[in-house]
């Protein structure tokens, strides 16, 4: 099987999504944002609808805690992450109700033939086909969080892989799964899997940091996207804090595997993600 980790996938968010998430996260309505920045409310509303105005967008960024150059580059399509080739890791992208796509991941140790599944996506056909093609044994299924789009195929994957244990945050228990506290580590063949709390999008979001492949890997669910992040449904401030503490402290070559959109790296996100201006050089 090819060492290319992922198919070609578009960014999950556009510039207007970033602006909208920042406004909601900071609790700033259009009128207040207009007062604070001097940008007309009509311009703000148009930006949120995807009508790009560079001067207006740049003027909003300091108040919203965004990096203006990154937001402009995103709006103009001037950057995309480098394709990742890494033996022992694959991404599977499936359609969810025609509304979005969602990712699942398979990581395996070629020396022992053991593997782990991370989330299930909305259609596990390709995931299960890859497991059969590789001839690996799934030792565990790890869930980043329990939003429906990430676990819709869970029962099917468990049944098709011989009933391996399922692990999920103690804050998001589901029937049949083992509740875990972030900080716990697992060994799958030669792979070490460390759990880190990345809550904020969900109440108990967990990222799984894998060592034992040629590059470190972080399966992050909806904590972090390429050029964006998951919405702060539970707490925007906590989401930002967890990402800074638990993800951006990882090595820059660490492969970031999000729940939506393309794979990227910590170094690329430091350089190109508008939500984290402090890392820009």
The tens digit of pLDDT for each residue in 182-227 reads 999 999 999 999 999 999 999 999 999 999 999 999 999 999 999 9
Tokens of 265: 């790296």
How much of the chain exceeds pLDDT 90, in percent?
95
Q: How far apart are the first and last CA of the chain?
A: 38
pLDDT at 8: 82
Residue 186 neighbours by CB distance under 10 Å:
18
Tokens of 3: 């060492």
211 vs 58: CA distance, rounded Å:
39
Asked whether residue 2 carries a pLDDT value surpassing 70, the answer given is: no
pLDDT at 46: 98
- Per DSSP, helices labelled H in 76-178 are 125-134, 148-151, 154-160
Q: Report the relative pairing of strands 206-211 and 137-142 from DSSP bridges.
A: unpaired
Asked whether residue 261 carries a pLDDT value surpassing 60, the answer given is: yes
Residues of the chain by 3-state class (helix, strand, coil), percent to 5:
30, 25, 45
Q: Report the relative pairing of strands 166-169 and 89-96 from DSSP bridges.
A: unpaired
pTM of the model: 0.96
How much of the chain exceeds pLDDT 70, in percent?
99
Q: Give helix then strand counts, H and E, for the chain.
A: 10, 12
Strand ranges for 41-160 from DSSP E: 89-96, 100-109, 114-118, 137-142
Q: What is the pLDDT of residues 97-148, one digit of tens each?
A: 888 999 999 999 999 999 999 999 999 999 999 999 999 999 999 999 999 9
């Amino acid at each position: 099987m090819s060492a290319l980790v992922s198919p070609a996938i578009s960014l999950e968010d556009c510039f207007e999504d970033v602006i909208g998430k920042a406004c909601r996260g900071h609790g700033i309505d259009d009128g207040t944002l207009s007062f604070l920045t001097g940008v007309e409310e009509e311009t703000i509303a148009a930006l949120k609808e995807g009508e790009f105005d560079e001067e207006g967008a740049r003027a909003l960024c300091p108040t919203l805690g965004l990096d203006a150059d990154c937001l402009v580059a995103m709006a103009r399509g001037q950057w995309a992450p480098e394709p990742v080739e890494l033996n022992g890791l694959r991404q599977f992208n499936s359609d969810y109700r025609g509304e979005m796509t969602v990712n699942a991941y398979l990581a395996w140790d070629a020396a022992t033939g053991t593997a782990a599944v991370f989330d299930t996506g909305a259609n596990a056909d390709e995931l299960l086909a890859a497991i059969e093609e590789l001839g690996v044994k799934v030792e565990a299924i790890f869930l980043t969080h329990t939003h429906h789009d990430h676990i819709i195929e869970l029962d099917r994957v468990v049944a098709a892989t011989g009933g391996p244990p399922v692990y999920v945050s103690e804050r998001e228990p589901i029937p049949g799964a083992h509740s875990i506290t972030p900080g716990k580590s697992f060994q799958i063949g030669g792979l070490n899997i460390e759990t880190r709390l990345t809550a904020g999008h969900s109440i108990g979001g967990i990222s799984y940091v894998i060592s034992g492949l040629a590059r470190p890997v972080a399966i992050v669910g909806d904590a972090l996207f390429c050029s964006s992040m998951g919405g702060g449904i539970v707490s925007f401030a906590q989401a930002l804090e967890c990402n800074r503490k638990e993800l951006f402290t990882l090595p820059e070559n660490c492969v970031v595997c999000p729940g939506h959109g393309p794979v990227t790296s910590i170094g690329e996100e430091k350089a190109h993600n508008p939500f984290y201006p402090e890392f820009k050089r």
